[in-house]
Structure 1
Amino acid sequence: MNQLAVQHLHAHCTSANALLLDVREPWEVDTAAIRLPGVAVKHIPMSRIPERLEELDPSQSIVCICHHGVRSLQVVAFLQRQGFESVYNLAGGIDAWSVEVDPSVPRY
């Protein structure tokens, strides 16, 4: 399973032209979100991934994020089973991002 440390998120996304896939619920995205200049973000709640799979490009690098990294880890495993090769889990999720990279992002 590919894990990506929060400190390497921006560099990975810009160098790989990666998509940041936020799999949290809408209220969570409204509470706290990662916004990086030049990095595309798509919000699909974890429960909707199977029905919205066609919205994702299997040839693109995708970094999945959630609150602590548990749901996104499950989404990474699912996407890999569907043939996606370049998928990563953001280790520690948005909570780790708030603590280690950007304290302006609220913790919840």
Structure 2
Amino acid sequence: MQQVRVTDLAALLASLDAGTRPVLLDVREPWEVQTASFTLPGVDSLAIPMNELPGRLDELDPEQPVLSLCHHGMRSLQVAAFLERQGFDQVFNVAGGIDAWSREVDASVPLY
């Protein structure tokens, strides 16, 4: 698993093989996703709360790069490690989470 800073997401996406469509896996609770969210061009978004992921693992493609996101980066780090143990080999933890996105990339995304 690799850590990726929110300010480096565009460079990471540009470095992926052509035709590769990553997924932004938001592991926050539904109320958190409603409070603050963002999308990335060329990236699929999927919200699965951390505690539901084991039962919904079939919604993810192990061949697809996964960008794991939460509020500050700790839940997403645990999810990224879990995904690696399940055989996913292109897993990236979004360091600092959506809080960092709001502070460093897009201040229109609410802080909470």
TM-score scaled by structure 1?
A: 0.94
Alignment partner for residue 63 of structure 1, among 64, 67, 70?
A: 67
Q: Structure 1 stretch 83-92 or stretch 1-10: which is displaced more?
A: 1-10
Alignment partner for residue 92 of structure 1, among 77, 93, 96?
A: 96
Note the aligned Cα RMSD (angstroms).
1.2
Which residue of 1 is the match for residue 106 of structure 2?
Answer: 102
In the alignment, structure 2 segments of 5+ residues that lack a partner are: none
Identical pairs, percent = 61
Aligned pairs for 1:18-57 (under 5 A) are: 18-57=22-61
Alignment partner for residue 78 of structure 2, among 68, 74, 77?
A: 74
In the alignment, structure 1 segments of 5+ residues that lack a partner are: none
**Secondary structure, counterpart of 1:84 in structure 2:** coil
